[in-house]
Amino acid sequence: MPSIDLTLYADAQFVSPYAMSVFVALREKGLPFKLLTVDLAAGANRAPEFATTSLTQRVPVLVHRDLALSESSAITEYIDDVFPGPHLYPVDPKLRARARQIQAWLRSDLLPIRIERPTDVLFYGPSSVPLSAASRAAAEKLFMAADVMIESSAENVFGDWCLADLDLAVMLNRLVMNGDPVPEKLADYALRQWQRLSAQQWVGLERR
């Protein structure tokens, strides 16, 4: 077993979709790493000892020897560039750019869904509050884009699996696993992605 020179800092509740993305990336690459947690509710991310590690005072953070890197997309691209193993992003430059586009969009848009269906619903149970008009409009936008990206019964967006599949599935599953209406093709895709071993390893982490 190679020595562990990778450390991943995640949220203490293991609900961050961004920490999940990095965790899955490391698992897919088959890399050994140490997993440490930061209690965001207690403000531990603002404590001096963590703030000197994370320039943005956020999780996830990956420490690799003398590099401490935050922001999940930057981390996963670094992992893919530096370490051998299965590709996390498509090799074709156009498809790779499209995968990055999907990730950037999911992180910066669809805010009503992210507020009303936080990833807590994936790990702690559904919300009983109906979706607002703003969230229903955001959901329709998500469905239209995902329907174009996912061919009928397709396992993955680009043929071979990539991290954009995980991120898209997480966004869809905020609705699927809460019991909100989702087109069958998209729900099937999201639930298939959720069963991937690396995703289930995150799901299986012990939560408080």
Pair 171, 112 in one domain: yes
Share of the chain above pLDDT 90, in %: 84
Per the structure, how many domains does the chain have? 2
Mean pLDDT of 60-83: 95
| Predicted confidence (pLDDT) at residue 106 exceeds the cutoff of 90 | yes
| Predicted confidence (pLDDT) at residue 2 exceeds the cutoff of 60 | no
Residue at a domain's end among 86, 115, 141? 86
Coil, strand, or helix at residue 70?
Answer: strand
For residue 54, the cross-strand partners are none
Residue 137: the pLDDT is 98
| Predicted confidence (pLDDT) at residue 91 exceeds the cutoff of 50 | yes
Rounded to whole angstroms, what are the CA distances from 23 to 67, 136, 140? 17, 30, 29
Amino acid at 39: D
Question: Does residue 1 sit within a domain?
Answer: no
Better-scored residue on pLDDT, 44 or 206: 206
Alpha helices in 83-196 (DSSP H): 93-108, 111-116, 120-123, 133-149, 163-176, 184-194
Pair 132, 147 in one domain: yes
Cα separation, 103 vs 128, in Å, equals 28
Question: Mean pLDDT, the chain, as a whole number?
Answer: 93
Better-scored residue on pLDDT, 90 or 54: 90
Quote the DSSP letter at residue 46.
G
**pTM for this predicted structure:** 0.94
Residue 69: the pLDDT is 95
Residue 1: the pLDDT is 47
Mean pLDDT of 35-52: 84
Q: Which domain holds residue 182?
A: 93-196
Report the candidate in 164, 172, 112 with the shortest Cα–Cα distance to residue 144. Answer: 172
Pair 160, 188 in one domain: yes
Pair 71, 117 in one domain: no
183 near 143, Cβ under 8 Å? yes
Tell me the CATH number at 27.
Answer: 3.40.30.10
| Predicted confidence (pLDDT) at residue 44 exceeds the cutoff of 80 | no
Pair 71, 131 in one domain: no
Mean pLDDT of 102-129: 96
Q: Secondary structure of the chain: what % helix, strand, coil (to 5)? A: 50, 10, 40
